[in-house]
Amino acid sequence: MDILSVTTTVITVCNGIVKYLARLRSSDDVQRLKTQTQLLCNVLENLNEEFHIQIVRQTIQSASDDGAGFEGQYWNSLKESLTHCRETLHKLEDLLKNGSNGVFGRVLSHRLLSPIKLDLQRDEINNCLQEIKFYREAMSIALQFITLYLLSKDLANCV
């Protein structure tokens, strides 16, 4: 799976979790989880937009084809981070399914759900929350790197 496909998949899972959490009555834990997951979604969507800029897409493609050198290692590491992020989000999804007696996958009624029972899985959910914060920060750095890369290309064209 290429980096664009992985990013799209992660965004889909992330948005699904945010929509689910929005339907729950808000406790502090649910609100923190929702906020951090939404922030991650925002960063991933911005990153995805950058991936669709022609010069970035060409760079990703040539680095992926080559696979060697700094750029190849960078894009492979970013893809690996996105893959791990997807796994964390799937783990969170499973915890939410188990904590809410399987309501996550069902069509929900219009009324708000009562808070899910996080007590039994609090440690695991907190671990996911910490990982989501980490991935958000890492993807923000990746976004900044791409912006610097694009600026350097613009400056090189001006000289």
pLDDT at 103: 44
Distance CA 105, CA 18 (A): 13
- Amino acid in position 32: R
In eight-state DSSP terms, residue 24 is B
Please report, for residues 62, 67, 78, 130, the alpha-carbon distance to residue 73 in angstroms, rounded to integers and kept in the order given: 12, 7, 9, 26
Nearest Cα neighbor of 139 from 1, 14, 20, 55 is 14
Asked if 143 and 43 touch (Cβ cutoff 8 Å), the reply is yes
pLDDT given at position 111? 42
130 Cβ partners below 8 Å, 6+ apart?
A: none
The maximal CA–CA distance of the chain, rounded, in angstroms, is 62
* pLDDT at site 100: 56
Structure tokens, 90: 């799937």
Count how many domains the chain has. Answer: 1
Supply φ then ψ for residue 59, to 5 degrees.
Answer: -65, -45
**CA pair distance 81, 85, nearest whole angstrom:** 6
Provide the residue range defining the domain that includes 59. 3-158
pLDDT at position 155: 73
Q: What is the pLDDT along the chain (159 residues), one digit of tens a residue?
A: 889 999 999 999 999 999 988 887 767 878 899 999 999 999 999 999 999 988 888 888 887 776 667 778 888 899 999 999 999 999 999 888 776 554 444 434 434 444 445 555 678 888 999 999 999 999 999 999 988 988 887 777 776
